[in-house]
Amino acid sequence: MAGLGPDSEIARIEARLDAEMAAFRTDTRLAQGSLAAFAKARIVPRAVTVNFSGGFAHRCYSVTRSDGTYRVIYMPRADYFALCVESVFGPLDIGVHGGAIECHSSV
């Protein structure tokens, strides 16, 4: 089926990130800094296995590079973004969910 491959999913995530960045309100210095920091950390989405409470693991997409402690991922099953902490087992969902910029700005 057309449009269901990894490239189209990456394109869809990129479009969603572009739209979120364009709509993000930057009427304060803090908001401007949040957007700039997110833009600097943003990467082309790449598949990664994310660990969840209860021993579950799902294929998700990293959308920011790791700062050594955290990264933002897109969760296709839930259709939203999440903040993950880095662990020896890979990224671990810590329950901070929502928009990509807001997740990134929460730390």
Domain with 63, as residue range(s), is: 6-105
20-74: pLDDT as tens digits: 999 999 888 888 999 999 999 999 999 999 999 888 999 999 999 999 999 999 9
Does a structural domain hold residue 56?
yes
Residue 71 falls inside a structural domain: yes
Residue 1 lies in a domain: no
Cα atoms found within 13 Å of the Cα of residue 58, Cβ hemisphere only? 16
Could you give the number of structural domains in the chain? 1
Is residue 37 assigned to a domain? Answer: yes
The H or E element spanning position 98 is: strand 92-98
- Roughly how many angstroms between the first and final C-alpha of the chain, as a whole number? 40
* Of 46, 36, 37, the residue nearest 14 (C-alpha): 46
Token pair of 28 as six digits: 């304060």
pLDDT at 30: 84
List pLDDT tens digits, range 1-26.
445 566 899 999 999 999 999 999 98
Task: Decide: 88 and 72 in contact? Cβ < 8 Å.
Answer: no
Beta bridge partners of 51: 57, 92
Reported pTM = 0.90
Q: How far apart are CA 71 and CA 26, in angstroms?
A: 22
